[in-house]
Amino acid sequence: MTDAERALGSEEAHPDEQEQPVVRDRRRIDPETGELRELRDDGADVDAAAGSTTGSADVSEELERARAEAAERLEDLRRLQAEYVNYRRRVERDREVMRENAKAELLAELLPVLDDIGRAREHGDLTGGFRSVGESLEAVTAKAGLVRYGEVGDEFDPTIHEALMHNYSDEVKVSTCTQILQPGYRLGDRIIRPARVAVSDPTESLSEPAAESDAQDASDSGAADNGGQES
């Protein structure tokens, strides 16, 4: 069998593997529009190149839209994250306020007991087991942040003191707490109970209103005398 016969037999045995013909339309006149086609230097159709360029432009526009959408979604995510952080801070702040209010209410209920312990100590009755219980309770309240205040000689401050008694004294230069009738308690910057005190003001503050009153009385008396003489 010759080589030509072998090639022919191979083609007949495998007809699907034969190369298909490639048709290239190189006509200068477009059969559909009747217009003259433009060819590039390499002979390729300009319309085909333009189609390729248009496809690239479409891909670029789609990519830009995708990037813009991704940036928008990222901005939304950041905004939601900021809102969540603010929400958590607000919740923690409200929770802390509720905790402090509950602590203040509980400590306020214990103040009468602390007053009894203080009076027992002043009279020498804080002894034995009662002393141990009293000191333990004072230690627990102090650990919770409760602070007792109010001492004789403190300058009177209406924001933390409540004056139940008042007099004048030559021994003070400013309004002074001369007697602590009931100690005050604070929790941080919060006043749980103001200190109830007796206050003494300097004697000079008493003379000034008296002098003004005498001057006013003299003025009224003089006006009355002048009115009587004219009549």
Residue 211, pLDDT score: 46
Output the domain CATH number for residue 156.
2.30.22.10
Confidence of residue 196 (pLDDT cuts 50, 70, 90): very high
| Boundary of a domain, candidates 144, 175, 191 | 144
Please indicate, yes or no, if residue 73 is contained in any of the structural domains: yes
If asked whether residues 73 and 94 sit together in one domain, one would say yes
Angle among Cα 11, 17, 19 to the nearest 5 degrees reads 95
Question: 96-141: per-residue pLDDT in tens?
Answer: 999 999 999 999 999 999 999 999 998 888 888 889 999 999 999 9
Residue 204 belongs to some domain of the structure: yes
My answer on whether 114 and 173 are in the same domain is no
Could you tell me which residues are beta bridge partners of residue 161?
195
Residues 74 and 104 in one domain: yes
- Angle, helices 46-122/128-143, rounded to nearest 10 degrees: 150
Shared domain check, 91 and 115: yes
Beta carbons of 75 and 67 less than 8 angstroms apart: no
Is 15 within the bounds of a domain? no
- Final residue before a domain boundary, out of 96, 115, 144: 144
The answer on pLDDT for 42 being more than 90 is: no
User: Looking at the domain assignment, is residue 183 inside a domain?
Assistant: yes
CA-based diameter of the chain, in Å? 171
Residues 158 and 207 in one domain: yes
Residue 60 lies in a domain: no
Contact 161, 177 (CB under 8 A): yes
- Is 89 within a domain? yes
Determine, yes or no, domain membership for 110: yes
Q: Judge whether residue 226 has pLDDT over 80.
A: no
The answer to whether residues 139 and 82 belong to one domain is yes
Q: Which domain holds residue 156?
A: 147-214
- Residue reference for tokens 């141990």: 132
Fill in the amino acid letter for 208. Answer: E
Cα gap 23→73, rounded to integer Å: 49
On the CB side of 53, CA atoms within 13 Å amount to 6
Model pTM above 0.85: no
Confidence of residue 158 (pLDDT cuts 50, 70, 90): very high
Give the total number of structural domains in the chain.
Answer: 2
Check whether residue 75 and residue 139 sit in a common domain: yes
Residues 140 and 77 placed together within one structural domain of the fold: yes
33 found inside a domain: no
Sheet with 146-149, side-by-side order of all strands: 146-149, 184-187, 190-193
